[in-house]
């Protein structure tokens, strides 16, 4: 498959998972929120199990060569450290990340989420402009 077709298929899977989560649990699937809940121990079972599921998915993807195979990082661990801190802090302050705001929020026409995802992309583009592309 071409990479845009992979992207579309991946998107359909992500949307399906988010929809199933929403309908069955009546909650918005947001990864940063679930990580935070696991850290501060609210909604403990749902959040910890979700993170475990992501780890299993990663392991499956690697084992069956569905992704994670050609991990070309092209950035150093210093950039990983800085990026991780900013992503975590930003998601906590914005109350959501690419999943909760970008998929569920935008689909629900939430003004906060639409603003958030637009800023994510423009700020990300500015950051790549400064740090450099690959």
Nearest approach in angstroms of CB 112 to another protein is 5
Nearest approach in angstroms of CB 113 to another protein is 9
DSSP secondary structure letter of residue 73: -
Q: Within positions 34 to 73, which residues make up the interface with another protein, using CB under 8 A?
A: 35-36, 39-40, 45-47, 49-62, 66-68, 70-73
Q: Within positions 75 to 94, which residues make up the interface with another protein, using CB under 8 A?
A: 75, 77, 79-94
* 122 binds another protein, rule: CB under 8 A: yes
Is the Cα dihedral 67, 70, 76, 77 positive or negative?
Answer: positive
**Cβ-proximal residues to 54 (8 Å cutoff; 6+ apart), any chain:** 31
Cα–Cα distance measured from residue 62 to residue 10, given in angstroms and rounded to the nearest whole number? 15
Cα–Cα distance measured from residue 130 to residue 117, given in angstroms and rounded to the nearest whole number? 20
Nearest approach in angstroms of CB 28 to another protein is 10
Q: Within positions 5 to 24, which residues make up the interface with another protein, using CB under 8 A?
A: 5-24
With CB under 8 A as the rule, give the number of residues binding another protein.
104
Nearest approach in angstroms of CB 41 to another protein is 12
* φ, ψ at 109 (rounded to 5°): 55, 40
* φ, ψ at 98 (rounded to 5°): -65, -30
Q: Within positions 101 to 120, which residues make up the interface with another protein, using CB under 8 A?
A: 102-104, 106-112, 115-116, 119-120
């Amino acid at each position: 498959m071409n990479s845009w077709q992979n992207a579309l298929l991946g998107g359909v899977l992500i949307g399906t998972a988010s929809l199933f989560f929403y309908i069955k649990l009546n909650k918005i699937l947001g990864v940063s929120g679930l990580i935070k809940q696991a850290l501060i121990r609210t909604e403990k079972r749902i959040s910890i199990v979700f993170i475990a599921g992501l780890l299993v998915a990663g392991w499956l993807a690697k084992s069956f060569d569905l992704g994670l195979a050609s991990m070309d990082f092209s950035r150093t661990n210093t950039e990983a450290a800085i990026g991780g801190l900013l992503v975590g802090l930003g998601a906590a302050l914005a109350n959501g990340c690419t999943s909760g705001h970008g998929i569920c929020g935008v689909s629900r026409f939430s003004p906060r989420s639409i603003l958030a995802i637009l800023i994510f992309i423009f700020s990300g583009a500015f950051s790549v402009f400064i740090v450099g592309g690959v």
